[in-house]
Structure 1
């Protein structure tokens, strides 16, 4: 015969309603009483039926996680596995399950989000990308559905959207200034997808640093990786290096692309950092295992996922909080940058 809440209440010498409140972690119950009830639950082998409770409370205890389209690029990039690790850690602490949504196209993702919202199969959404003119954010705002963005929203949604982000403009400006201090004047930029907000912020920071040093932005030094992996953009890199004069340094949008750049430069017979300096973003584990180890910006990916999930759970529980949380970054100097001989 299965153990019931009444059995737990009898053993703990409390009311059944107190056991119910302990299960939902109510702040109205003292820590001492919670420990007594939980001990009784353990001794009796009682396990709460969260599915039944969710039907009563009209809550699914499930969060939707929306990956960007082009899953080939997304799943190859360690950024997403690390941000998911942070999301999973916080969701587990608060006893939320996860529903992962991916799609081959923006239309597929939009349709999936609509189904999740209208069917109420989830309590809230974590959006792992931010694009210009994307339909998902306006839709979620219109439906007044809880969601948090990992990234920066477009300017028109800045006050309405809860989000967690790095200051990508400032970080890109800083790494470009670092290359300038090393004596580099011809600095290329390899960005992500053109319609991604993070690409916009990276390029703005890069251009701002050049302009403050009275260096004109050379449009021929700009490459955008629209396929998720740089292998599909190697022709653009070859054209960039064939341009005369060619860059002596590169600011690359993320470490995964930087690894491809290192390989392609090696195939061209160019040495890093002797012939080309490279700085990147994300500080994935592989960045310290490359030859040479990659100079990069640690954006604390795990924290982005963990704190983004915390913000979403706070929204679901209707707790007051700031709509914006900025995670600090850390510049990690390794061995892919070298002072330029003048």
Structure 2
């Protein structure tokens, strides 16, 4: 026998219209009444027909996720599975489904987004990265389509709701930590400068050096893809210098894993010969050898707040633009120590 809204209303001792409002998560219904109705639905095994309700409301009850280019970092870097968990939890709380898209090029990604928007497949979009010139952001602003960015916009910052860390401050603190240990020859390994997160973290690195009266040496700054291979290539280049750095800040833990692997191959000991600080504090930071000191940026919370605030925008067209800054902290492990006197003396020759 099919259970109806009237059956639920009768058991919960409320009007059928109240049950409908609970299903729609109306703010007009008290939490106590919502719980009473939900208990009745669970007891009777009632499942609302979301498809019918969405059709009536012109809603897809879905949000789109735009991953970075699949030829780059999208499906390899462990940052993304964690941020997707946060997005998923925020969406599930409001019964929203997820629709993910990517492409091999920026043009393919833009085409996929246009299809999602014009095909009315989603009610809003979460963007998982921010670039200097971003065609997708420009398109979504032009269409006045709800979206939230994980990261900091390159422009129109006051018009775009975004969830980010204070990446300048976080990298400044990571670099200052190494300076506090006595390091003066500190290298920086980051991703593409087309990504705002890279330029912000590089700015933080340079600010820490400047405040300590240390010159930022151009040969100590390397940019590669946010991949293990990127870290491998970067550290080989740095170790070939006449005076290689005694410490490194690496803008991503996946890159840092490549750094650690290559240093081991070269017979360079961490932290005895060189100290390393990573970024993101993904699981592999704890599992690496030695365990990696890393900046924890609360990746899950970045994703959770992105989907939560996107759904607020979808359900309330008057929702104000927000800039949400997620906290960070340095997690100390075993990859850092004071510089060896011998290496420091050679570097200062």
TM-score calculated relative to the size of structure 1:
0.95
Distance in 1 of aligned mates of 2:153 and 2:97: 26
CA contact (8 A) 2:70 2:103 kept: yes
Secondary structure at the residue paired with 2:73?
Answer: helix
Number of the residue aligned with 2:166: 167
Distance in 1 of aligned mates of 2:179 and 2:29: 59
Is the counterpart of residue 244 in structure 1 residue 242 in structure 2? yes
Distance in 2 of aligned mates of 1:105 and 1:180: 40
CA contact (8 A) 2:8 2:44 kept: yes
Residue 213 of structure 1 and its aligned partner are, at CA, apart by 2.1
Give deviations 1:267-307, integer Å, cap 9, x for gaps: 11100011111001111111111111100100000110111
Number of the residue aligned with 2:190: 191
Number of the residue aligned with 1:50: 50
CA contact (8 A) 1:71 1:102 kept: no
Number of the residue aligned with 1:139: 139
**Structure 1 stretch 3-12 or stretch 195-204: which is displaced more?**
3-12
Q: How many residues align?
A: 340
TM-score calculated relative to the size of structure 2:
0.93
Distance in 1 of aligned mates of 2:338 and 2:313: 48
Matches within 5 A, 1:95-106: 95-106=95-106
Give deviations 1:99-147, integer Å, cap 9, x for gaps: 0112111111110111111111101111000001111111111111111
Secondary structure at the residue paired with 2:177?
Answer: helix
Number of the residue aligned with 1:229: 227
**Structure 1 stretch 63-72 or stretch 248-257: which is displaced more?**
63-72
Secondary structure at the residue paired with 2:38?
Answer: helix
CA contact (8 A) 1:207 1:217 kept: yes
Distance in 2 of aligned mates of 1:141 and 1:54: 25
Secondary structure at the residue paired with 2:269?
Answer: coil
Is the counterpart of residue 265 in structure 1 residue 266 in structure 2? no
Residue 2 of structure 1 and its aligned partner are, at CA, apart by 2.5
Where does structure 2 lack aligned partners over 5 or more consecutive residues? 342-349
Distance in 2 of aligned mates of 1:230 and 1:287: 13
Secondary structure at the residue paired with 1:165?
Answer: strand
Number of the residue aligned with 1:256: 254
Change beyond 3 A, Cα 1:37–1:70: closer
Give deviations 1:140-167, integer Å, cap 9, x for gaps: 111111110111111x211010001000
Where does structure 1 lack aligned partners over 5 or more consecutive residues? none
RMSD of equivalent CA atoms = 1.6
CA contact (8 A) 2:296 2:330 kept: yes
**Structure 1 stretch 37-46 or stretch 299-308: which is displaced more?**
37-46
Change beyond 3 A, Cα 1:264–1:21: same
Secondary structure at the residue paired with 2:75?
Answer: helix
Distance in 1 of aligned mates of 2:236 and 2:290: 21
**Structure 1 stretch 242-251 or stretch 319-328: which is displaced more?**
319-328
Secondary structure at the residue paired with 2:158?
Answer: coil
**Structure 1 stretch 323-332 or stretch 14-23: which is displaced more?**
14-23
Distance in 2 of aligned mates of 1:162 and 1:301: 17
Residue 232 of structure 1 and its aligned partner are, at CA, apart by 4.9
Residue 229 of structure 1 and its aligned partner are, at CA, apart by 1.7
Secondary structure at the residue paired with 1:270?
Answer: coil
Distance in 2 of aligned mates of 1:251 and 1:137: 30
